[in-house]
Structure 1
Amino acid sequence: MTEATRRPRIGFLGIGIMGEAMVLRLLDLGYSVTVWNLEPERLDTVVPHGAVAAETPAAVAAASDIVMLCVLHMTAVERCIFGADGVAAIRPGPSLVIDFSTADPEGTRRAAARLKELTGAGWVDAPVSGGPQLARTGQMTVMAGGSDEDFAQAKAIVEQMAGNLTLMGPVGAGQTTKILNQAIVGTGYVIMAEALMLAEAAGIDAARLPQCLAGGLADSSLLQRLYPQMQQRAFDPPTSYARQLLKDLKAVSAFAQGLGLDLKVIEQGVQRYKDYVALGHEMSESAAIVKLYEHDADRSLGRS
């Protein structure tokens, strides 16, 4: 394989639930992947499959043409890129950063401009949706922001990882779109939990609801994929964490307030997840918020 046609070397920072699935997908596709995670024990989920462990983000950058990351929040993004041992410490460094994290639009724009000034590298913000199963099979949804040139470079790889990849505008547009996605998802989780509690209390066959409503206006991926998980109480192992969805919903609320909007359904969703996490479910499955309603029902009946 010539230099012009060889696969780019990939670096990946953040081997959480989604990061693990994406790295395994890249390895399946034949990419060389160098990885780092703040908690190094998480690397055991990908290194046996061919990923190469590195001790710092800078070491990942030194071994990579393109660096991807999927970390908890904007502070973690900035640590990975601009920390003393971060990606920006390497000269010359990777040509492109692809950030799959859910972060904030303005922070992303600042980080992209700073990295461009320091190293000349491009930036594509590419937050994702669909969960680890779809990430593992290359069917996740990716909402991207970046220049046409940077997106074209990212697309050659990311389209192999995604069933739906859309450029929504310049840097930061992907993160703005993810805010809208999380507004729908976060409040949708609450609605699914309430619909389930209502169905069970009414005495109908709650398990048949997705089949019954398929094709109607109430149909959705949430009804077909999330509701059955709630109805079966299939929450282990978690596919997402309640603390993460609460963080995202708080970001939706702050974004809306920054635009002068008072969105009451979203505010109720934030409060419901605050209540759920306050019961000690920070690291529980996001869909298990139905347990909050069971807790509320027990309290109303004097059982707790």
Structure 2
Amino acid sequence: MKIGFCGLGRMGVPMVRRLLQAGHQVHVWNRSPAPVRQLAAEGAQAHATPRELADACAWVALCLFDAAAVESVVFGADGLAGSGSLRVLVDHSSIPPTDTRIFADRLAQANGAIWLDAPVSGGTGGAAAGTLAIMAGGPADVCDQVAPVLRAYAQRVTHLGPVGAGQVAKLCNQTIVATTIAAIAEAVALAQDAGVDAVRLTEALAGGWADSTLLRIFVPRMTQAPAEAQASLDTMLKDLDTVAALARSQGTAVPVATAAGQNYRLASRHGLGAADVSQLIRLFDRAGDRA
């Protein structure tokens, strides 16, 4: 299959690699050139603009930071919407459901292409291993058509309803993940302040009700800071702000997510925004000198 991919960040690069390994012909564009050169050396076809990429591919996937980046790449000068060849746009970015619906309507009016919102969960490790979970919104038949291609990097593609439904599911995911990470940080700090080796919490809690994938991943990352961020605190804050906005718009009470969001905002104010999300623990470090 020939597919385009725009957005070669922490997630995009391993996703494109998985597509290449699956035998697909992948066309790539990115605002900064370094990852384009890297993937071109591995077999991808590089393009100078998103529109040029879309002229070569009927299906294009995006993995961008926020709604502003998505709007620019799709509707800006030399954007994807300017191509008459584009038929399906698969957006793996995490953006507000309202923006997704607006963008889908604009794209349909511009060139008749169909928008699938398909945010992912599983981090860079899941992208590299091909085990991401994809939550999709849009026409079910189109989702079924593209799902075999998406399974190059996803173990599961779940269609949830019309355009925007995938983004709502991703916000539910982020609500659970962000609040759980905040709770784990408090538990690690509680153990450390009591003189208990927090590293052993995963062993001690294994099989109990507190055991979880997040516990097993984040206790080690909180007790020994990772060399490289897999997901940043600012990215999580962005998503929690979107959760809060959606909750306000529909009158949903989200007191736990709101409280957790203040921790992420405080971490960002302390200059930790680019750090791995596990480094939320540094808010609770009395010495203030955790590596």
Q: Is the 8 A contact 1:67 1:98 kept in 2?
A: yes
2:287 alignment counterpart: 298
Please give the alpha-carbon distance, in whole angstroms, between the structure 1 residues aligned to 2:204 and 2:210. 10
Q: 1:46 aligns with which of 25, 39, 49?
A: 39
Please give the alpha-carbon distance, in whole angstroms, between the structure 2 residues aligned to 1:22 and 1:177. 21
- Cα distance per residue 1:161-210 (max 9 Å; x no partner): 21122111111100000111111111112111111111112222322211
Q: Is the 8 A contact 2:198 2:219 kept in 1?
A: no
Please give the alpha-carbon distance, in whole angstroms, between the structure 2 residues aligned to 1:161 and 1:83. 28
- 1:43 Cα deviation after fit: 2.1
Please give the alpha-carbon distance, in whole angstroms, between the structure 2 residues aligned to 1:67 and 1:247. 24
1:220 alignment counterpart: 212
Aligned length: 288
Q: 1:101 aligns with which of 93, 97, 100?
A: 93
- 1:46 Cα deviation after fit: 2.0
- 1:104 Cα deviation after fit: 1.0
Identity of aligned residues (%): 39
Residues 160-199 of structure 1 correspond to what in structure 2 (within 5 A)?
A: 160-199=152-191
Q: Which runs of 5+ in 2 are unaligned?
A: none
Q: Which amino acid aligns with 1:187?
A: T
TM-score, normalised to structure 2, is: 0.95
Please give the alpha-carbon distance, in whole angstroms, between the structure 2 residues aligned to 1:192 and 1:50. 41
Structure 1 residue 81 corresponds to structure 2 residue 70: no
- 1:218 Cα deviation after fit: 1.0
SS in 2 for 1:98: strand
Q: Which runs of 5+ in 1 are unaligned?
A: 1-6, 300-304
2:145 alignment counterpart: 153
2:254 alignment counterpart: 263
- 1:22 Cα deviation after fit: 0.4
Q: 2:244 aligns with which of 242, 247, 253?
A: 253
Q: Is the 8 A contact 1:124 1:154 kept in 2?
A: no
Please give the alpha-carbon distance, in whole angstroms, between the structure 1 residues aligned to 2:174 and 2:271. 22
Structure 1 residue 127 corresponds to structure 2 residue 116: no
Q: Is the 8 A contact 1:123 1:150 kept in 2?
A: no
CA-based RMSD: 1.4
- Cα distance per residue 1:94-135 (max 9 Å; x no partner): 221110000111111111122122212112111001111111
Q: Which amino acid aligns with 1:298?
A: A
Please give the alpha-carbon distance, in whole angstroms, between the structure 2 residues aligned to 1:145 and 1:96. 13
1:22 alignment counterpart: 15
Q: Is the 8 A contact 1:14 1:38 kept in 2?
A: yes
